[in-house]
Structure 1
Amino acid sequence: MGGVFINYRRGDHSETVEHLYAELDRHFGRGQVFLDRPSIVPGQRFSDTLRARVDDCEVLLAVIHPGWTDVRDVSGARRLDDEEDWVRREIEQALASDKVLIPVFLDGVTAPRPAELPPSIRELVGRNGQPLRRTHWESDLAELIAVLEGLVRPDWRPVPAPEERGKRPGRWLGVLTAVLACAVLAGVPALPQDDSWAGTDVLPYTLGAALMSTVLLCAPFVAVAAVRLVRRSVDDLERELHAVRHRTYIRHTWPIGLGIILLGGYGAVLGDQGMAVALPLLLVLGVAVVRAAVTHLRLKKRDDDLWARWPHRLPDRVHRAALRRAVARLHVRLDRMTAPLSLEQREKAAWELDDIAGAVRRTEREAGRTRREWLSQDHPWLFAGYVLWLALTAALFVASGLAYAAAGEGTVRRYVVMGVAVLTGTALALGTLETAHRHQRRQRRELARQVTGFREGLLRRVAELSLPPRTKPTAPARRPEEYAEPD
């Protein structure tokens, strides 16, 4: 448990001691500061509790009030000369176990002379103390808390990672996809067709749809391939955007939304045909704007929470934006902190750096996944969609072949062309998935390399800020909620 143990003798100054306890308890948290009357539970053996808490504490504050060395019992004997005196016994135990012992001098009291103390606690004279004067209460208390922050930490726990939204589908998605693909392959060719196109230059509607579907399969392949070709520029842009707050990201990317609105307006100007295109586009845009507004508010609140309460545990499957953002946020924190770091700051920074290291290891493992693992874990719905898309394309070509055969227009050349088109569509789909797999693998490896380098720099920064102080701190460390996170 650790914490602070307040050693004092009851008297007229007890109210000041209780005020000190209340301030330390508020700053370091309940359970981290011990004072006999509010801390000992009724029914406990106070002698056992006192010995246990002195043995467990990190710092013992010996409160020395006016007349502390000469307090006497009813018989006139000096209390410090009594070996059973609890003030003396607690100080003896702290000195014997090499605890940090800080004398606290109330109202201008000076350190006692060695001759005024029993030999067993005479070492107390050699400990530098802290004054606590009523006339300078705020500044003296701030100095004391600043010193204690380097030795005692408030009770804290990392904030749990946000729950993952929804669960990844299991084998049932694969079974459902297979069933639907078979139904498409069997059902589409069985649909009745009008053969009025036979003997003309008009293509069967199934063949026109199949060719259009094959052409559309080119779009994802071209998009993924283009991203790989300009990956360095995209990576640099991502790294910059991931390091800023959400509202800053919105402030610098709003022209994209404006461009979509202008595109819709341009479609409306083109007349009826343009309106037919613009109205669905504007409907989709309206839904997107509403959803973007809700998402913006949620992410803004999340940004504020991540800054004020730290450290936050990263999720098991961390997105590269969240990992880069965690590194950037810790970098900003360390830039705002002053040496020497408090014990709480050192522990939180060390914990967060370990959590980042764990996320990097998980990212490296993800980079080594097989294609099947990548698809099933990251893109199960996309893969299912591709399978159904290819099944529909193949079914449309089969239906077209059957239509040509029924109309007496079937030729080997046409069947070969349709077979080649099916193989081309399949090759485009497989090429898209393969290119995307290689791209994400390279992204994760590059992310792990970047974050590892940043983390090593942050480790050195924490070590530099944790060097022992060369001068006495005069104020407690600032907490993140006391100042806003910069953009």
Structure 2
Amino acid sequence: MRIFVNYRTRDEAGAAQLVYRHLSERIGKRNVFLDAQSIEPGTLFDDELLKNVWRSDVMVSIIGERWLDFRQPAGGRAIDDPRDWIHKEILEALTHRVRVVPLLVGAARLPGKDDLPPPLRDLVRHQYVAMDPRMPEAAFARLDEVLDLPSPAQHGDEGEPRARARQSGGIGVAKGHDNINVTDARGPVHIGDRIDRRKGKR
């Protein structure tokens, strides 16, 4: 699974970093795209942004209290401008049928259909997850559930499945006639001669 984190820099950049860190622990950094972390210096960022949207399976769109009404220098709402990167990324996800999960931070609410420019109105049809920035763990647990994400123990930093740990301890395998050896995760362990119960001695 690949996940794209969509956010407005002047709205909830801190929440985006928390989400990126959490998702990276679940599926590996190379499977989570956050512009500030994932675009190498010198790369044409506009190409990378849109390419990584349609390559993703899921977009987590972080919506804070300023997300909808954030203003451009000229005075209009940024979300209404087709050149706005939040507008572009969400439209790209909707066009390519990337699953979009709105993540509402703090007191933010999902915009109504009439609050959004026409190309983005399908966003309101997507079920959201609410996040309290003081206790983000509940939202992260909900994301894990709805996206069916693995636990950290199942994946390494790069998203590769970890080798299943061999069982340590336990009875293991006993063998031999005069000696007993127990198979442990670190190899056979010799624990001495077999007890001859009939004679009551070793």
TM bracket, shorter-chain basis: 0.7 to 0.9
Normalised TM-score (structure 1):
0.34
The count of residues paired between Structure 1 and Structure 2 equals 181
Secondary structure of 1:60 counterpart: strand
| Counterpart among 175, 178, 186 of residue 298 in structure 1 | 186
CA distance in 2, matches of 1:298, 1:88: 56
Residue 67 of structure 1: CA displacement? 2.4
**SS at 2:186 equivalent:** helix
1:23 to 2:22 alignment: yes
- Separation in 2 of the partners of 1:137 and 1:296? 40
- Please state whether the residue corresponding to 2:82 is helix, strand or coil: coil
Deviation at 1:13, TM superposition (A): 2.6
Taking structure 2 as the reference length, the TM-score comes to 0.78
Query: Is the 1:103–1:130 Cα contact (8 Å) retained in structure 2?
Result: yes
Aligned to 2:194: none
Note the alpha carbon deviations across 1:418-440, whole angstroms, 9 max, x for none: xxxxxxxxxxxxxxxxxxxxxxx
Q: 1:297: Cα distance to partner?
A: 5.4
Q: CA deviation at 1:85?
A: 0.7
Name the structure where strand makes up a greater proportion of residues: 2
Determine if the alignment matches structure 1 residue 156 to structure 2 residue 160: yes
Tell me by how many angstroms 1:157 deviates.
4.9
Paired position in structure 2 for 1:80: 79
| Residue 35 of structure 1: how far off its partner (Å) | 0.7
Q: CA deviation at 1:299?
A: 4.0
How far residue 89 of structure 1 moved from its aligned partner, in angstroms, is 0.7
Q: Which amino acid aligns with 1:128?
A: Q
* Pair 1:248 & 2:136 matched: no
1:32 positional shift: 1.0
1:156 alignment partner AA: E
In the TM superposition, 1:12-161 aligns within 5 A as: 13-149=12-148, 155-157=159-161
Q: CA deviation at 1:300?
A: 7.4
Return the offset for 1:4.
0.7
Aligned AA (1:55): W
Runs of 4 or more off by more than 4 Å in structure 1?
none
SS at 2:136 equivalent: helix
Secondary structure, in 3 states, of the residue corresponding to 2:61?
strand
Deviation (angstroms), 1:156: 1.9
Superposed CA deviations along residues 241-263 of structure 1, whole A, max 9, x for unmatched, are xxx9984344xx57x75xx3xxx
Q: Check 1:247–1:96 CA distance in 2 against 1; reply closer, same or farther (3 A cut).
A: same
Contact 2:168 2:184 in 1 (8 A): no
Q: Residue 144 and residue 77 in structure 1: after superposition, are their counterparts in 2 closer, same or farther (change >3 A)? A: same
Task: Please report how far the alpha carbon of residue 104 of structure 1 lies from its aligned counterpart in structure 2 after TM superposition.
Answer: 0.5
CA contact (8 A) 1:7 1:60 kept: yes
> Cα–Cα, structure 1 residues 297 and 49, in superposed 2: closer, same or farther, change >3 Å?
closer
* Secondary structure in 1 matching 2:110: coil
* Structure 2: runs of 5+ lacking an equivalent: 190-202
Structure 2 residue aligned with 1:274: none
Distance 1:93 1:246, change over 3 A: same
Q: Which has the higher helix share?
A: 1
Residues 79 and 85 in structure 1, CA contact (< 8 A), matched pair in contact too: yes
Q: What is the alpha-carbon distance in structure 2 between the residues aligned to residue 300 and residue 109 of structure 1?
A: 59
Higher CA-based Rg: 1
Given that residues 106 and 133 in structure 1 are in contact (C-alpha distance below 8 angstroms), is that contact kept between their aligned partners in structure 2?
Answer: yes
What secondary structure does 1:5 align onto? strand
**Contact 1:108–1:131 (Cα < 8 Å) also in 2:** no
Letter in 2 for 1:86: W
Given that residues 11 and 64 in structure 2 are in contact (C-alpha distance below 8 angstroms), is that contact kept between their aligned partners in structure 1? no
Asked if the contact 1:246–1:300 (Cα under 8 Å) also holds between the matched residues in 2, the reply is no
Matches of 2:162 and 2:21 in 1, distance apart?
25
Determine what percentage of the aligned residue pairs are the same residue: 28
Residue 111 of structure 1 aligns to a residue whose secondary structure is coil
Structure 2 CA distance, aligned partners of 1:30 and 1:113? 33
RMSD: 2.9
